[in-house]
Chains A and B, each alone.
Chain A
Amino acid sequence: MPTVSMTVNGKKVSGEVEGRTLLVQFLRENLRLTGTHVGCDTSQCGACVVHLNGDSVKSCTMLAAQADGAEVTTIEGLADGETLHPMQEAFREHHGLQCGFCTPGMVMSAVDLVKKNPKASEAEIREWLEGNICRCTGYHNIVKAIQHAQTTMSA
């Protein structure tokens, strides 16, 4: 069994995994970071999105072994202690979540968007969210939250 080591939310971690262990399984089962969710098996829903070396990726569609040596940030690592990240705060302020299941992936994806395209239009935000499916909100308030975070993240 390969041993993998990576930095997750700023902490160095390592563990023995099977070759077939997915990154999301390593996070949820080995590290008990259950904020990252699994909502589909075809790499489409985005509930599992985390940051890998600063880019958003689907942790259900990569092997833990492929993340060996990487910097991983999950939803648990986004806030600064008790202070929510501006994107988390924007989702709360604008009611951008209901059941909360897609939320971790949605927030991680949205943070990546605002980093890469700080002035994205509504259409660009909606297009970026292609890889994140939400069944509760109709996306209306998610879009509003991201638009709000565009201002607070740059502040």
Chain B
Amino acid sequence: MQDGATGIGASVKRVEDKRFLTGKGRYTDDINRPGQVHAYILRSPHAHATIKGMNKAAAEAAPGVIAVFNGEDMEVGSLPCGWQVNNKDGSPMHEPGHPPLARGKVRHVGDQVAVIIAETLEQAKDASDLLAVEYQTHEASIHMDKALGGGPLVHDEIGTNLCYDWEIGDEAEVDKVFAGAAHVTEIDIVNNRLIPNAMEPRAAVGEYDRSDDRYTLYTTSQNPHVIRLLMGAFVLSIPEHKLRVVAPDVGGGFGSKIYHYAEEAIVTWAAPKVGRPIKWTAERSESFISDAHGRDHISHAKMAMDKDGKFLGLKVATKANMGAYLSTFAPCVPTYLYATLLAGVYTTPVIYCNVKAVFTHTVPVDAYRGAGRPEATYLLERLVAKCARETGISQTDIRRKNFIPADAFPYQTPVALQYDSGDYITTLDAAEKAHDVAGFPARKAASEAKGKRRGIGYSTYLEACGIAPSAVVGSLGARAGLYESAEVRVHPTGSVTVFTGSHSHGQGHETTFAQLVSEKLGVPYDAIEISHGDTDKVQFGMGTYGSRSLAVGGVAIDKALDKVIAKAKKIAAHMMEASDEDLEFKDGKFTVAGTDRELSFGEVALSAYVPHNFPHEELEPGLDEKAFYDPLNFTYPGGCHIAEVEVDPETGVVTMERMTAVDDVGRVVNPMIVAGQIHGGLAQGIGQALLEGCVYDDSGQLLTGSYMDYTMPRADNLPSFGVGTESTMCTHNSLGVKGCGEVGAIGSPPAVINALVDALWDVGVRDMPMPATPQTVWNVINSAGTAAAAE
């Protein structure tokens, strides 16, 4: 790639950086509207209680207070769930209501009870002390076993805490395979609950303009159009043409900013009531008890093998925590984004999985970076590592033996998905080389000489992303299509604005998408602007999650660019008095084949808007094209992650010594940005494996409710990473791209835990829960020692 190149494959420096580096970013909390007042949300201190009464008078009379509203005041629709999952018997899941402000009962610590609106935030908080709420508290169902084992009901009206009981595969057929297997390996897996913790806390500013009866909501969202649809149509009954949702610069999302949250509805609903714009911004301790959490699965899995270690069948039973209410995407995470991934990169011919989704008196759980796929990958890669140990086959041989071969694509798995491309041996080989696996024994010996233990762990994973195919997700229960839209507007002087339905909250779309345009139109990079995040500007959008921005949003832009070129060709043909079939467009120039006649893209753009002699019946003025792209299939990134850890057996402290990731993410548009996405994913994966875990006590109090107790990965917890890509092209989109946003978080946790088990294998350790904190590791080493002594 030449210096200064700005097309596909160039590590172009990011357009957005200058504003972020100089303090000129514009995040939701930076927005101040004229006359703005502040909202403070009073939240439930109890996990399960009946609201017996509320006396608002003293709070309403407090200095600066404008209004106090509770659930009885706010009679609006329920916060909707976007996906439906059916039970084994075909009946639909239970879908209890979710009022933005609690009515009658509170169901988790942090549940919204009332909103106090005052001139200043401090006044609203001062008044919250005067808001007397009388609660009758009840015992809570915090842990899934208790919730399913006769514990108190989260929603009395549905009579059960079982949201759904879903399955995929033929259980009888799988049982038959197990009956005839030479060897069966079993494992119990807990996928720890996590708190996403985007660094920008959620915020919302609601505004109502009585002159045109229009609402505006500024919000920290990954998908403003989806919020407009859900809040407008289901909660507040505001028609979409009267509702504008703006998601300006957003400081990270990782899934947690996909969902429609109560606070968005509260500030929008209350704005006309108080006649002033209203701002709400979460404090971090509020984020902990109101942002959707992630993961939280308990599973048992077993693999049937033949005598040579070939996988014959997989059977999995999973319980998935939904929390107290169904968040927007929640039901699909442990089903369509999880069980369909259980084939992984292997040829396992039959698979059965049963998933029980459970209501508990905890914060709702929904998609968090990877969403379902990290849970599937962790289960499978821990199980495969155990299969290798039990059969005496090496960690790499058992994988190679069971990989889907590179010539077997397209490959239909037994769990609904059809993979389009991949080459798992190449990524494994490349990762082993990059990691210097050959040097591991020497490094291990050096660690042991210091009294430490060292281990290496593998994860060869695959994920399904580019979340879209409407036909597929519709058949799976999605209540909306998951296409993406784009508009490419060429201006008279040849500069270009792209309006995309994707939303950037750190991914660098303003850079990567401009590269697509520069590559295809030959327009100088600095003459391209990417516009996103405003429902008044962008025609429609499904937003950014599931590593879909480039694979769906980018391809929509590519389609719109094709339409622009086709239209521009017609104009150029007219200008050069040639047939458009004789025209070629290359490097920003239209040429007539076999002649020296040529026009630049800019000349054609100008002509489009100065159409003095256009044959208007055949050729409309203007150069502005829209496209919707609905892919045929998911995309399937995959790869190999290798972790190397050192353990201090005296204290249980684990040090990440090396982390290598070689991923197949399809075509790479901006290698610098792709590497950055993978680094971030790895940090979150290592965080899940070693540091992060959400702990509730039995009464439902969150014990990890701030950074004092919830361990965020910090710079000194992590090594420099070795990342690389070895790509096969996606075969069903025009760019060949797959997606890179989640691979790091999906592939890495089992590699880390497998490395830790490897490090401690010789002291008798056979399993290790996440997060493997020093205390946990020390306890595991001790009990392994005790068990060994007892043998």
List residues of A whose CB falls within 8 A of some B CB: 18, 20, 28, 32-42, 44-45, 47, 74-76, 78-79, 84, 88, 91-93, 95, 97-104, 107, 122-123, 125-127, 129-130, 132-143
| Chain A, Cβ-Cβ closest to B682 | A138
Q: 16 A-B Cβ contacts within 8 A?
A: A37-B200, A37-B251, A39-B200, A39-B201, A40-B707, A41-B283, A92-B13, A95-B14, A98-B677, A99-B249, A107-B21, A135-B197, A136-B252, A138-B683, A139-B683, A141-B676
A98 close to B22 (CB less than 8 A): no
CA distance A100 to B20 in the complex (A): 5
Question: A78, A101, A135, A140: which contacts B27 (Cβ < 8 A)?
Answer: A101
In order of increasing CB-CB distance, the 3 nearest A-B pairs are A35-B23, A101-B251, A100-B20
Cβ of B224 under 8 Å from chain A: no
- Once the chains bind, are A104 and B23 in contact (CB under 8 Å)? yes
Other A-B pairs beyond A75-B22, A130-B716, A135-B199, 17, CB < 8 Å? A28-B30, A34-B23, A34-B27, A37-B199, A37-B251, A41-B283, A42-B285, A91-B17, A98-B508, A99-B249, A100-B20, A135-B683, A136-B680, A137-B680, A137-B683, A138-B684, A141-B679
> With a CB–CB cut-off of 8 A, which chain B residues contact A78?
22
A94 and B720 alpha carbons, distance in the complex (Å): 14
Most chain A CB within a 10 A radius of its CB, from B13, B199, B712, B744:
B199
Complex Cα gap A79–B775 (Å):
45
The interface centre, meaning the residue of B19, B197, B251, B744 with most chain A CB atoms within 10 A of its CB, is: B251
Q: Let me know if B30 and A34 touch, CB within 8 A.
A: yes
Contact B249 A100 (CB under 8 A): yes
Q: Which of B29, B679, B721 gathers most chain A CB within 10 Å?
A: B679
Given that A129-B714, A129-B715 are known contacts, is A20 also in contact with B22, CB under 8 Å in the complex? Answer: no
Query: Which of B199, B677, B684, B744 interacts with A101 by CB under 8 Å?
Result: B199
Q: Is B178 an interface residue (CB 8 A)?
A: no
Q: How far is the CB of A127 from chain B (nearest CB, A)?
A: 5
CA of A104 to CA of B19, assembled, Å? 10
- The CA-CA distance from A98 to B406 in the complex, in Å, is 34
Type the 1/0 row for B474-517, where 1 means its CB is closer than 8 Å to any CB of A: 00000000000000000000000000000001111000000000
The B contact surface, by secondary structure, is: loop
Query: Are B21 and A88 interface neighbours, CB within 8 A?
Result: yes
Q: Do A84 and B22 touch across chains, with their CB atoms under 8 A apart? A: yes
Are B252 and A99 in touch, CB under 8 angstroms? Answer: yes
**Which chain B positions have C-beta within 8 A of A40?**
284, 706-707
Q: Which residues of A contact B721 (CB under 8 A)?
A: 138, 140
Number of B interface residues, CB 8 Å? 58
Chain A, residue nearest B511 (CB):
A95
Known: A41-B706, A101-B200, A139-B683. A76 touches B252 (CB 8 A): no
Rounded to whole Å, the gap between the CB of B255 and the closest CB of chain A is 12
Let me know if B199 and A95 touch, CB within 8 A.
no
Taking the complex as formed, is B18 at the interface, i.e. its CB lies under 8 A from any CB of chain A? yes
Q: Across the interface, which residues of A come within 8 angstroms of B683, CB to CB?
A: 135, 137-139
Residue among A18, A47, A133 making CB contact with B712, cutoff 8 Å: A133
Among residues of A, the one whose C-beta sits closest to the C-beta of B198 is A135
Are B716 and A92 within 8 A (Cβ)? Answer: no
Task: Decide yes or no whether B176 CB sits under 8 A from chain A.
Answer: no
Q: Hey, which chain A residues are within 8 Å of B768, CB to CB?
A: none
| CB neighbours of B20 from chain A (8 A) | 97, 100, 103
Q: Are A133 and B707 in contact (CB under 8 A)?
A: yes
Evaluate contact between B284 and A41: CB separation under 8 angstroms.
Answer: yes
B718 CB–A CB distance under 8 Å: yes
Give the CA-CA distance A78 to B200 in the complex, in Å: 22
Within 8 A of A (CB), among B135-159: none
Residues of B within 8 A of A104 (CB): 23
Q: Which residues of B contact A143 (CB under 8 A)?
A: 715, 720
CA distance A34 to B718 in the complex (A): 30
- B22 touching A122, Cβ below 8 Å: no
Shortest distance between the CB of A88 and any CB in chain B (Å): 4
What residues of A have a CB within 8 angstroms of the CB of B676 in the complex? Answer: 95, 98, 136-137, 140-141
